[in-house]
Amino acid sequence: MIKVEEKRNRKPPDFDQVKGQIETYVTRKAQAEYVGKLREAAKVERFDKPEETAKAPDAKPDAAKDSKMAPAKK
């Protein structure tokens, strides 16, 4: 149980004072959402490594030969 002993009425800051912070937040959020959508739709193929070194140690050998696309990260 929590007992409230005192409350202070604090006025929220003026819009002009936080306008820059709000713009930054909204811009970063929109950028993050856009990059997330691009990552989901992206098809990535790696040409810098031979197929034998590119496959995961626990992957099935036949599955690695069939797929040259890296799994999408979420």
Mean pLDDT, residues 38-42:
92
Distance, CA of 50 to chain centre: 29
- What pLDDT does residue 61 have? 53
**pLDDT tens column, 53-67:** 555 555 555 544 555
Residue 35: pLDDT band with limits 50, 70, 90: very high
Q: What is the pLDDT of residues 9-32, one digit of tens each?
A: 889 999 999 999 999 999 999 999
Three-state SS letters, 6-74: CCCCCCCCCHHHHHHHHHHHHHHHHHHHHHHHHHHHCCCECCCCCHHHHCCCCCCHHHHHHCCECCCCC
